[in-house]
Amino acid sequence: MRIILASQSPRRRQLIQFLGLDIEAISADVDESLATAPDPAQNAIDTAHLKVAAFADLPDAIIIGSDTNVAIDGEILGKPRDSAESRQMLVQLRGRVHQVHTGIVALRTADGALATTVSSSDVHMRDYSDDEISAYIATGDPFDKAGSYAVQHPDFMPVAHIDGCFAGVMGLSICQLAGVLREVGVNVPAEITVPCQTTACFRQPMYDPHF
């Protein structure tokens, strides 16, 4: 049976390797604006549903969809359109606590069995300087990131600490993904249930901090 990750995100494609399963990664061409739930956690789940639905017609497959958003004061921050918007987001987040929600959906196409979860974390940003913001924007890294930052960026390092799942903030909570996959009949190794709650698993050789 095929297992397909419906994502173009290089971060999710690398994170999912921790499951040790044979998984195909295929970009899901969906209109994410169709997810309109005002609640950030529900919006992440709804967007993940859209990605799964794009491959629902495949026979005898497991489809995984995931979406991550950043929210502060109830406002969802998407990917910045340009440098000015990137700067605006980073200034808005600086020195404050916000939430990162990663919705995960798994579908077994043979019978329509569906499992859903969401990883929500409180992220405490450090008080980085205007010059640091400018240098980070100049790298081009913020432009495909919700909230205009990557928690794992080795130079900018915008986050002071996280109350929640490091992998979930990166874009895919591995322990929670393992849970939904088990719900739809995928045999996932039991030891996967714990490591992504800390940064320990990202010290393994397969982890590239630059992706």
Catalytic residue positions, numbered: 67
Q: Confidence class of residue 40 from pLDDT cuts 50, 70 and 90?
A: very high
pLDDT single digits (tens) 148-189: 999 989 899 999 999 988 899 999 998 899 999 999 999 987
Domains and CATH numbers, the chain: 2-196 (3.90.950.10)
CB 101 within 8 A of CB 35: no
How high is the pLDDT of residue 45?
96
pTM, full prediction: 0.88
